Structure 1
Amino acid sequence: MSAVTAELISRARAGDGDAFRELTEPYRRELQVHCYRMLGSIQDAEDILQETLLAAWQAFGAFEGRSSVRTWLYRIATNRCLNARRSAGRRPAKEWNVPTVEPPEPTRLGEIVWLEPLPDALLEGATAVPLGPEARYEQTESISLAFVTALQVLPPRQVAVLILRDVLGFHASEVAEMLDSTVESVTSALKRARAGLRRSWPAADQEPPPGSDSPAEDVLVARFVSAWESADLDALVALLTDDVFVSMPPMPFEYEGRDAAERFCASIFRSGRRFDLVRTRANGQPAFGAYLRAPSGIRHGTGLYVLTLSGDSICAMTHFDKSVLPWFGLPRSLPNQ
Structure 2
Amino acid sequence: MATTIDADEFARIVAPYRHELLVHAYRLTGAPSDAEDALQEGMIAAWRGLSGLRERAALRAWLYRVTTNAALRLVERRGLRLLSWDSASAADPAAELGPPRDDVAWVEPFRGAADPAEVAERREHIELAWIAAVQQLPATQRAVLVLREVLGFSADETADLLDTSRTAVNSALQRARATLAGRRPSGHKQHAELDRDVVKTFVEAFTAGDVERVVELLADDVRFTMPPLPAWFDGRADVAEFLRTSVFATPWRVREIGMVNGHPAVLGEQRWEGAWRPGALMILHLREGRIGWLATFVGPLCTDWVKDFPTDR
The secondary structure found in structure 1 opposite 2:231 is: strand
Contact 1:92 1:250 (8 Å CA) reproduced: no
Q: Does 1:174 align with 2:153?
A: no
Report Cα offsets for 1:107-131 as digits up to 9, x if no partner: xx99974222123x52237728xxx
Determine the structure 1 residue equivalent to 2:279: 302
Cα distance change of structure 1 residues 112 and 219 upon mapping to structure 2, 3 Å threshold: farther
Looking at structure 2, the residues matched to 197 and 93 of structure 1 have their Cα atoms a distance apart, in angstroms, of 15
Q: Per-residue deviation at 1:299?
A: 1.1
Q: Does 1:114 align with 2:123?
A: no
Kindly report the root-mean-square deviation, in angstroms, between the aligned alpha carbons of the 2 structures.
Answer: 3.0
Give the unaligned 5+ runs of structure 2.
85-91
Q: Per-residue deviation at 1:210?
A: 3.0
Q: Which amino acid aligns with 1:56?
A: A
The secondary structure found in structure 2 opposite 1:308 is: strand
Q: Per-residue deviation at 1:202?
A: 2.5
Q: Per-residue deviation at 1:138?
A: 3.1
Cα distance change of structure 1 residues 267 and 185 upon mapping to structure 2, 3 Å threshold: farther
Give the unaligned 5+ runs of structure 1.
1-8, 95-101, 129-136
**Count, aligned residues:** 299
Looking at structure 2, the residues matched to 199 and 267 of structure 1 have their Cα atoms a distance apart, in angstroms, of 35
Looking at structure 1, the residues matched to 263 and 82 of structure 2 have their Cα atoms a distance apart, in angstroms, of 26
Q: Per-residue deviation at 1:295?
A: 5.7
Determine the structure 2 residue equivalent to 1:127: 118
Q: Which amino acid aligns with 2:14?
A: T
Determine the structure 2 residue equivalent to 1:190: 173
Contact 2:133 2:184 (8 Å CA) reproduced: yes
Q: Which amino acid aligns with 2:23?
A: V
Looking at structure 1, the residues matched to 31 and 284 of structure 2 have their Cα atoms a distance apart, in angstroms, of 18
Contact 1:29 1:126 (8 Å CA) reproduced: no
Looking at structure 2, the residues matched to 14 and 302 of structure 1 have their Cα atoms a distance apart, in angstroms, of 49
Determine the structure 1 residue equivalent to 2:211: 233
Cα distance change of structure 1 residues 259 and 153 upon mapping to structure 2, 3 Å threshold: farther
Cα distance change of structure 1 residues 49 and 14 upon mapping to structure 2, 3 Å threshold: same
Looking at structure 1, the residues matched to 288 and 150 of structure 2 have their Cα atoms a distance apart, in angstroms, of 24
Contact 1:210 1:310 (8 Å CA) reproduced: no
Looking at structure 1, the residues matched to 81 and 142 of structure 2 have their Cα atoms a distance apart, in angstroms, of 19
Q: Does 1:40 align with 2:30?
A: yes
Determine the structure 2 residue equivalent to 1:260: 238
Determine the structure 2 residue equivalent to 1:153: 136
Looking at structure 1, the residues matched to 214 and 266 of structure 2 have their Cα atoms a distance apart, in angstroms, of 15
Query: Structure 2 matches for 1:15-26, cutoff 5 A?
Result: 15-26=5-16
Q: Per-residue deviation at 1:168?
A: 0.5
Q: Does 1:86 align with 2:76?
A: yes
The match for 1:247 among 202, 225, 231 is 225
Q: Does 1:208 align with 2:189?
A: yes
% same residue: 34
Looking at structure 2, the residues matched to 138 and 145 of structure 1 have their Cα atoms a distance apart, in angstroms, of 16
The secondary structure found in structure 2 opposite 1:87 is: helix
Determine the structure 2 residue equivalent to 1:6: none
Determine the structure 1 residue equivalent to 2:196: 218
Please give the TM-score of this superposition, normalised by the length of structure 1. Answer: 0.79
Q: Per-residue deviation at 1:201?
A: 2.0
Contact 1:30 1:125 (8 Å CA) reproduced: no
The secondary structure found in structure 1 opposite 2:222 is: strand
Cα distance change of structure 1 residues 220 and 115 upon mapping to structure 2, 3 Å threshold: same
Cα distance change of structure 1 residues 112 and 195 upon mapping to structure 2, 3 Å threshold: farther
Contact 2:255 2:267 (8 Å CA) reproduced: yes
Looking at structure 2, the residues matched to 151 and 246 of structure 1 have their Cα atoms a distance apart, in angstroms, of 21
Determine the structure 2 residue equivalent to 1:98: none
Looking at structure 2, the residues matched to 176 and 209 of structure 1 have their Cα atoms a distance apart, in angstroms, of 37
The secondary structure found in structure 1 opposite 2:246 is: helix
